[in-house]
Amino acid sequence: MGDKLRLALVGCGAISEWHRMGIRNVPEIEIVAAVDVERARAEAAAAEYGAAVFTSLEDALARGDFDAVDLMLPHDMHEAAAVACFAARKHVLLEKPMATTVEACDRILAAAGRCARVFMVAENAQYWPEVLLVQEEIRKGSIGEVVTAHVHLFFPALEAFYGGDRAWRMSKAQTGGGICIDTGSHYVRPLRMWLGEIDEVVAAMEYPYPRMEGESLARALFRFRSGQVVSYGLMVTDAPMGRQDIFRVTGTKGEILVGMMEVILVNGENPGGTRIGDEGSIGYFASYEGQFRDFASAALRGTKPVASAEFAVGELRTALAMERSAETKRWEKVWP
């Protein structure tokens, strides 16, 4: 394979632009192909790199010259695309969620096992600098033992993701649900990194964003196996939003607050709160660089990814348990 990972972008929509921003800072990755059913989008993505252009994954796998794929497709297409790439013996980075059902995830994981190539699920929150800062402060005991946490994010319906006449995120059949199965995973993964596994959830879901068939508002409580209870709120909206603390982690000796581009530590040594972390190295978009560095290292050098693909099933299970709870109005188990 050499010292470069030759990568095909599969699906050149809005998230592809964010992925390409991360890849620009990872010299070990060379983008050599762009695949999209809309040729103009594939050409636009390929132009920066002089990459080959394809309008179907089948054609790319048959004629393209690449080692790995970055699959960025509607959720209902994940299983078929991933299995085809494993059959062609490609390394696979698959956008979250892995699939829309646990059974489909099991089939994807089985195909990955037979292929014996690198398989990662692209949950970039695993590499989010602010999340890693919180993880380190918890590890150091800066706020004592964690007692509880709070997640809150009301976010704008960005035109690139939610606009247009054919925005697939508006379709429950294509997404497998609403915001919880999609954007929600970015805010469940940090909780699992900090507190361990979620045992059960109770949730309510509403539909204030009229174009979206799945839920556009979710309120929930998560009970962790370790005993902590965490509150969780997520909404997509067209309304202007004020300042938000996305995460608030409360311990026996203090708190950590994560906002937009800042992490505040409050404890006995810092009763008024102090910013932590290098301002030049934090920010959500930095997480994509970490994600691609991990993928390149695993594919080129055989290192173990920071998080296994199997671990990503936990975010899907959490979203599905929330959906069940919204229907039953009871606590629902995440794991059987």
Instruction: Please spell the DSSP secondary structure of 122-159, one letter per residue.
Output: E-GGGG-HHHHHHHHHHHHTTT-SEEEEEEEEEEE--H
pLDDT digits (tens, 9 = 90+) for 93-122: 999 999 999 999 999 999 999 998 999 999
Number of structural domains (the chain) is 2
State how far the alpha carbon of 327 is from the alpha carbons of 75, 180, 216, in Å. Answer: 22, 15, 15
Q: Are 259 and 244 in contact (CB under 8 A)?
A: yes
**Residue type at position 306:** V
Does residue 119 sit in the same domain as residue 258?
A: no
What percent of the chain has pLDDT above 90?
Answer: 93
Looking up residue 194, the CATH number of its domain turns out to be 3.30.360.10
Does residue 10 sit in the same domain as residue 54?
A: yes
Question: What is the band of 258 on the pLDDT scale with cuts at 50, 70, 90?
Answer: very high
Sign, CA dihedral 7-104-41-184, equals negative
Does residue 254 sit in the same domain as residue 302?
A: no
Does residue 242 sit in the same domain as residue 278?
A: yes
pLDDT digits (tens, 9 = 90+) for 48-62: 999 999 999 999 999
pLDDT digits (tens, 9 = 90+) for 143-175: 999 999 999 999 999 999 998 777 999 999 999
Sign, CA dihedral 318-324-326-331, equals negative
Q: Are 95 and 78 in contact (CB under 8 A)?
A: yes
Q: CA 257 to CA 280: how far, in whole Å?
A: 18
105-143: b (≥16 Cβ within 10 Å) or e: beebbebbeebebbbbbbbbbbbbbbbbbbeebbeeebb
Does residue 98 sit in the same domain as residue 141?
A: no
State how far the alpha carbon of 251 is from the alpha carbons of 131, 248, 265, in Å. Answer: 16, 10, 11
At 164 the pLDDT is: 79
Does residue 265 sit in the same domain as residue 135?
A: yes
Does residue 117 sit in the same domain as residue 167?
A: no
- What pTM was estimated for this model as a whole? 0.96
Does residue 113 sit in the same domain as residue 205?
A: no
Does residue 56 sit in the same domain as residue 149?
A: no
Does residue 170 sit in the same domain as residue 228?
A: yes
Q: CA 268 to CA 266: how far, in whole Å?
A: 7
Does residue 181 sit in the same domain as residue 154?
A: yes
Looking up residue 31, the CATH number of its domain turns out to be 3.40.50.720
Range of the structural domain that residue 328 is part of: 126-283+315-333
User: Which residues have CB under 8 Å from 97's CB, separation 6+?
Assistant: 75, 78, 121, 176, 181, 182, 185, 312, 315, 316, 319
Does residue 29 sit in the same domain as residue 174?
A: no
Q: Does the pLDDT value for residue 1 go beyond 80?
A: no
DSSP code of residue 95: E
Kindly state the average pLDDT of the residues 217-228. Answer: 98
